[in-house]
A and B are shown apart, each in its own frame.
Chain A
Amino acid sequence: AQKVTQAQTEISVVEKEDVTLDCVYETRDTTYYLFWYKQPPSGELVFLIRRNSFDEQNEISGRYSWNFQKSTSSFNFTITASQVVDSAVYFCALSTGNQFYFGTGTSLTVIP
């Protein structure tokens, strides 16, 4: 069975602090994809990143970085120098085919 766990339900940080959102997944498939989506207060789901199971290279995009570790089945997301506009719910998702399995989301609040 596939499962995504985001243990942090809510996180609050002060602007300019760094914050890491945790994601742990479970699957018996050897080929899979991992995703992060952002859902701002306006409600839409914004695609952030996709990573396949054979590529453990970490990725950095501006203030965002992702740390994929197969050994611990984790795909963590770090925001550096957080900004108020980063306030949103962030979902981690797993795909082993055509279905997505979402985590329960982490609500991030960045306090000015």
Chain B
Amino acid sequence: AAGVIQSPRHLIKEKRETATLKCYPIPRHDTVYWYQQGPGQDPQFLISFYEKMQSDKGSIPDRFSAQQFSDYHSELNMSSLELGDSALYFCASSSRTSGSRFSDTQYFGPGTRLTVL
């Protein structure tokens, strides 16, 4: 079965540089989520999109932005990178039950490991 695809898998950047992470959800999933997981931490919710519109916003810094495109893939853009941005970034996808505020189970991609030097 198709899973969530994230690219790149590893990324090394210098401080103050920019980075773009890409996420391709499971086919027919309409909702995409982004999480940041620091070393030894639990995943922290950043932002989500439903049908290409921002759905929920978590602890996403102002230096970060994201969008979901017409083909449902999503990109997380990170600018003015800081050392503290070094983390594993997960994308997850799910499908929202019609008429419900609940989404189905979130299936996670393999993550992008970002290292900021």
Residue numbers of A with Cβ under 8 A of B are: 31, 33, 35, 37, 43-47, 50, 91, 95, 97-100, 102-105
Contact = CB atoms under 8 A, between A and B. Distances in A.
**Interface size class for chain B?**
20 to 34
Contact of A98 (B88, B102, B107, B111): B102
Contacts, number: 56
Given A43-B111, A43-B113, A102 B42 contact: yes
B80 interface: no
B50 A98 contact: yes
A111 B45 CA distance: 33
29 contacts: A35-B105, A37-B108, A43-B88, A43-B110, A43-B111, A43-B113, A44-B108, A44-B110, A44-B111, A45-B43, A45-B108, A46-B108, A47-B106, A91-B42, A95-B103, A97-B101, A98-B31, A98-B101, A98-B103, A99-B45, A99-B48, A99-B56, A99-B58, A100-B33, A100-B106, A102-B43, A102-B44, A103-B42, A105-B42
Contact of A91 (B43, B48, B56): B43
